[in-house]
Amino acid sequence: MKKIYSLLLLTVVVLCSCNSDDNSPIVNSTTVVLNLQGKLDKPETEFTGIFKEEPAGAWTYKNTFVDQTGYFVFDSYTTSFNTFGGGFTYTNKTDVKTAGYTNNSAITGSGKTSATYMTVNPSEYSTDKFHFAGNASHTVKGMYVTNSTYAYLSILNGDGYAKPFKDGSWFKLTVTGLDDKGNTTGTAEIYLADYRNGKKVLLDKWTWMDLSALGKVAEVKFSLSSTDNGNFGMNTPAYFCMDGFTIEL
């Protein structure tokens, strides 16, 4: 009888994992969650890849990496100074005070599911999307998002390019699903900062973003938009942080 009870208890643990957040996803045996834990050997570091000069003399070089589950494939761009130059990187940095583009920390100072999380700088000059191993397609459930320290402090205080947000300002993340032919499967959006209609919301904690509207996708694309724009595009730093991206098999 004790053996049967132990097996039943084990089954419940495998099929359901509870979280303190009311709107968190239910994780079960058919779900895979982005896992970056253990990919960095030292604290306060980030993945920068290796710069290799290309024939065209480009100032960035593409490095591809896979998360610990082996399902998620990302492109990260490295500059000639061996620093993060766009696309996707993972970090365990905790600096929530230093302003500027050299700080890729989340404003939370830590990840949601582990110490290591992802910072994203989607751009037409690097990349704005990721795909799955084996060019497979998967049904998307959602992910946790928050502001990068760079974007957060810029929105709060302004910087050399951006102005501090005021009534009516906003900063928005849009996520788009693409099928294996590049067609849009669905979109979802969340405001990382929302000062409209008397609100003053500036995300400083990990927040679950429901991506079920994307459906089954081959690629996931990110774009950032803001009310603060200039002659050369958006002034608000085009960075955000994500963790716990969840798919169904």
Q: In sequence order, which residues have a C-beta less than 8 Å from that of residue 212 and are 6 or more positions away?
A: 140, 141, 142
pLDDT of residue 61: 95
Residue in 245, 242, 244, 246 with CA at minimum distance from that of residue 107? 242
Output the pLDDT for position 57.
76
Residue 11 lies in a domain: no
Whether 217 is in a domain gets the answer yes
Q: Answer yes or no: is 243 within a domain.
A: yes
Residue 215: its pLDDT value, please? 98
Could you count the other beta carbons within 10 Å of the beta carbon of residue 32?
A: 19
Does residue 92 lie in a domain region? yes
Confidence at residue 2, expressed as pLDDT on a 0 to 100 scale: 39
Residue 94 resides in a domain: yes
Structural domains counted in the chain = 1
What is the signed CA dihedral for 132, 133, 137, 140, rounded to 10 degrees? -40
Q: What is the pLDDT of residue 54?
A: 79
Domain range for 205 is: 23-248
Answer for the pair 135, 218: CB distance below 8 angstroms, yes or no: yes
Characterize 204-231 residue by residue with b for buried, 16 or more Cβ atoms within 10 angstroms of its Cβ, and e for exposed.
bebbbbebeebeebbbbbbbbebbbeee
Q: What is the CATH number of the domain that holds 215?
A: 2.60.120.1350
What pLDDT does 180 receive? 97
In-domain check, residue 5: no
pLDDT at residue 99 in the model: 97
Residue 129 pLDDT: 98
Local confidence pLDDT in tens for the 249 residues of the chain: 433 333 333 333 333 333 334 455 444 569 999 999 999 999 999 999 999 987 777 889 999 999 999 999 999 999 999 999 999 999 999 999 999 999 999 999 999 999 999 999 999 899 999 999 999 999 999 999 999 999 999 999 999 999 999 999 999 999 999 999 999 999 999 999 999 999 999 999 999 999 999 999 999 999 999 999 999 899 999 999 999 999 998
Is-contact 65 130, C-beta < 8 A? Answer: no
- For residue 132, being part of any structural domain is answered with yes
